[in-house]
């Protein structure tokens, strides 16, 4: 499941392959931007902002979001793609590399000057160079009646966390996902743990929150509904959390370890 660390790694891989190169092909397969052709322009940089990926090419910014199914791949010219061509939303080539964005949940091409307007709603980026813990805490605490899991997943509070991290953070802190933020005694500690977890996984292919990298042992409760808790043996519960379609998300918890 793409979260901030996945997007960070994608941006790093794309930057290493494309930065400084000149596009020899630009094929945007999204109707609203199908006429955009950046062939001949230089790729300046690729970076992530929370779960958003920005590729700056010439005076334009290619803005994408993976959502649930999206991914960026990098290939050598002539190599077979690992996903079917009909899933490709954009194909970018330089003399040495081919970058393909598959099933991107969002893809748009805007002037670089418009980036700030698109992303100014985001909170501090957990993996960004300008991470600001105090501001993230302030935003989380600004709505004390909100369930803690919903507050952590809100990209306007802190950018980069998805269901997996939020679910695991609540377990590690012994918090039911439904507990109101106002009843959490140490929000700064919770936010600090969020940053430590995502930093620890930033350069890993497999996300690990337990400290155990063996297959099937990487998470405490996420994806383990109906299985015994690794700490107390209670059956892990699963449910939907949120009061609107925008907030609704799947969560899991241990009924004994989390209160």
**pLDDT tens digits along 141-171:** 999 999 999 999 999 999 999 999 999 999 9
Question: How high is the pLDDT of residue 242?
Answer: 65
Integer Cα distance of 179 and 181 in angstroms: 6
Determine the pLDDT at residue 247.
56
% of the chain exceeding 70 in pLDDT: 97
Structure token pair of residue 160: 């980069």
With cut-offs at 50, 70 and 90, classify the pLDDT of residue 39: very high
Can you give the pLDDT at residue 249? Answer: 74
pLDDT at 195 over 70: yes
Please report the pLDDT score of residue 66 as a whole number: 96
CB contact at 8 A, 66 and 105 = yes
pLDDT at 240: 85
Mean pLDDT for 91-111 is 98
Ramachandran angles phi, psi of 243, nearest 5°: -110, 5
Q: Indicate whether 122 pLDDT > 70.
A: yes
Q: Would you state the pLDDT for residue 250?
A: 83
- Has residue 192 got a pLDDT over 90? yes
pLDDT single digits (tens) 236-256: 999 987 665 445 678 999 999
Q: How would you class 159 by CB atoms within 10 Å of its CB: exposed for 0-12, middle for 13-18, buried for 19 or more?
A: buried
Please give the Cα distance from 203 to 162 (Å, whole number): 17
Residue 103: its pLDDT value, please?
97
Catalytic residue positions? 2-3, 51
Please list the residues that pair with 240 across neighbouring strands.
Answer: 250
pLDDT digits (tens, 9 = 90+) for 198-210: 999 999 989 999 9
The predicted structure's pLDDT at residue 248: 62
Average pLDDT of every residue of the chain? 95
Q: The pTM is what?
A: 0.93
Write down all domains in the chain, each with its CATH number in brackets. 4-119 (3.20.190.10), 133-253 (1.10.8.50)
């Amino acid at each position: 499941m793409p979260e901030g660390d996945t997007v960070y790694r994608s941006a790093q891989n794309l930057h290493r392959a494309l930065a400084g190169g000149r596009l020899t092909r630009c094929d945007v397969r999204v109707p609203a931007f199908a006429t955009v052709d950046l062939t001949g322009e230089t790729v300046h940089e690729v970076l992530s902002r929370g779960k958003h990926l920005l590729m700056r090419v010439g005076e334009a910014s290619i803005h994408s979001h993976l959502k649930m199914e999206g991914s960026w791949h990098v290939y050598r010219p002539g190599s077979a793609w690992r996903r079917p061509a009909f899933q490709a939303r954009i194909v970018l080539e330089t003399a040495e590399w081919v970058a393909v964005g598959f099933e991107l949940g969002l893809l748009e091409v805007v002037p670089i000057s418009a980036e700030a307007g698109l992303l100014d709603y985001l909170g501090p980026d957990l993996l960004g160079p300008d991470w600001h813990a105090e501001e993230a805490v302030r935003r989380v605490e600004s709505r004390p009646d909100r369930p803690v899991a919903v507050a952590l997943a809100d990209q306007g509070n802190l950018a980069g966390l998805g269901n997996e991290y939020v679910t695991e953070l609540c377990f590690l802190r012994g918090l039911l996902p439904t507990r109101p933020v106002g009843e959490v005694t140490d929000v700064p500690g919770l936010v600090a743990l969020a940053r430590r977890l995502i930093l620890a996984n930033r350069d890993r292919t497999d996300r690990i929150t337990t400290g155990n990298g063996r297959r099937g042992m990487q998470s405490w409760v996420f994806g383990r509904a109906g299985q015994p808790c690794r700490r107390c043996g209670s059956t892990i519960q699963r449910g939907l959390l949120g009061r609107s379609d925008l907030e609704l998300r799947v969560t899991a918890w241990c009924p004994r370890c989390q209160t």
